[in-house]
Amino acid sequence: MSTQQNVTDPAPRRPRPYVRRPDWVARRLANPLVSALHRLGLGVGGSRQLVVRGRKSGTDRRAPVNLLVVEGRYYLVAPRGHVQWTHNLRAAGEGRLRLGRRENAFTAVEVAEAARPELLRAYLKRWQPQVGAYFRGVTRDSTDAELRAVAADHPVFELTFSAGSRP
């Protein structure tokens, strides 16, 4: 008499989120240079230093970001995908943008994937020479369908600043 085992299939593996880690040049040269300029009060093409509480350590974490303004609303786009600052901002729900001595506190809400394509297009119109390589062939001139195809790979956060605290 044979016995049959009840074997359940393992849960299907979810694809890993898109992450494009900075290379040596970005990590050791570009980001420290841009951060130094931020401390001096100089934003490169609208960039700022993001300060957000670490979700595990609880200490402030910093990253250079490009502040996108569309129709009077403020956004942060993650060109390198689901990197540490996106996880921290998602967990904290708030942060600060710093440029020199000026610091602007904000709350953040992640934008739904369906609403991202036009924001990604606006971001690429402004910063494609700087970040285009991270979008895997998608450009400011790509179709809406192509932008929708990469929307899940690039978190976007809408920022709300307190009255009188706009950057």
Burial class (CB in 10 A: 0-12, 13-18, 19+), 111: middle
Mean pLDDT of the chain: 89
Whole-structure pTM value: 0.86
pLDDT tier at 37, thresholds 50, 70, 90: confident
% of the chain residues with pLDDT over 70: 91
pLDDT at 41: 82
Cβ neighbours of residue 75 under 8 Å, at least 6 residues apart?
Answer: 67, 68, 69, 111, 119, 123, 156, 157, 158, 159
- Token readout for 97 is 């943008």
pLDDT, tens only, 73-130: 999 999 999 999 999 999 999 999 999 999 999 999 999 999 999 999 999 999 999 8
Confidence of residue 44 (pLDDT cuts 50, 70, 90): confident
pLDDT for the residue numbered 13:
65
- Residue-level pLDDT at 154: 97
Q: What is the mean pLDDT of residues 4-10?
A: 58
- The yes-or-no verdict on residue 39 having pLDDT over 90 is no
Please report, for the chain, the start and end positions of each structural domain, with discontinuous segments joined by +. Answer: 24-161
pLDDT higher than 70, residue 12: no
Compute the distance between CA of residue 69 and CA of residue 158 in angstroms, rounded to an integer.
Answer: 10
How far, in Å, CA of 147 to CA of 124, rounded? 11
Give the strand pairing for 60-70 and 94-99.
unpaired
| Average pLDDT value for residue range 38-55 | 88
Assigned CATH for 24-161: 2.30.110.10
Who has greater pLDDT, 33 or 143? 143
